[in-house]
Copies of this chain bind each other. A is one copy, B any other.
Amino acid sequence: MTYCVGILVREGLAMLADTRTNAGVDNISSYRKLRVCGNDGQRLIAVASAGSLSTTQEALERARVGLVAPDTNDVESLASVGSIHRAAFLLGHAVRCVRQEMEGLKQEDVNFEATLLVGGSVETEPTRLFLVYSAGNFIECEPDTPFLQIGETKYGKPILDRAVTYETELDEAVKIGLISFSSTMRSNLAVGLPIDLVVARCGQSRAALVHRIDARDAYFRELNDRWSEALKAAQAAIPRPPYGKP
């Protein structure tokens, strides 16, 4: 399993992804699921992936090396696309192509579905964030709900629903994203450290931060402890129910 979240606020973009993959609970490994292309001031294309590792690796490989775009019949790659929107389109097409080719294996009852978060900007365009579905279609993150999630999304959704708005400051958004990971990892073994993190200010095609948070990370440990303590205190502070004392 996997958990990835992208948060797009007025100040910019934060993307977080865990690194645990599993094929059954007895086959757990660490794989990077958040990859950054460009990051040179000309283009920043950050891609987080959930689902079949073989599909996402192959789709990303093709989008990097270049593939024939279905609308123009030109070869395009993440290094040549003129916008982050076009990057999402190209990655969606790559996912669809890879899945179609793998259809022959369907008899083995393997699931080749994959979803992506694609965020960033090319040149000086505003930073944007997209969710690419397994069929290759995609949606864009908008200010009304300034985050997108893929993978094991439910455990960590309540805090995002409550706390993130488009006006949330960028480092506060990173913090809320990490709290969302803390809740998810507490309830689901299949999501685990390290967490990869990319932060970019809006309109900057170079990330302000590319960072990996591992088990030794003092800040994340403190965040975990504080959040756990705060929830306990919050729970204790609420009076017990008045309904006919049992």
Contacts and interface: CB of A to CB of B under 8 A. Distances in A.
Given A155-B158, A170-B246, A243-B197, A238 B209 contact: no
Nearest to A14: B246
Contacts of A227: 234, 238
Nearest to A201: B246
Interface residues of A, number: 51
A232 interface: yes
A238 B157 CA distance: 19
Nearest to A243: B211
A234 B233 CA distance: 9
A54 B219 CA distance: 51
B237 A230 contact: yes
B238 A12 contact: no
Interface stretch (A17-25, A86-94, A134-142, A178-186): A178-186
A12 B240 contact: no
Contact of A154 (B154, B223, B242, B246): B154
Contacts of A216: none
Nearest to A225: B238
Given A158-B184, A178-B241, A231-B231, 17 more contacts: A154-B154, A154-B187, A158-B183, A161-B186, A163-B231, A163-B232, A171-B241, A171-B246, A172-B240, A175-B238, A175-B240, A179-B238, A201-B246, A208-B246, A209-B244, A209-B246, A230-B238
13 contacts: A155-B157, A159-B235, A162-B232, A199-B243, A208-B246, A209-B244, A219-B239, A222-B238, A226-B237, A230-B230, A230-B234, A230-B237, A233-B234
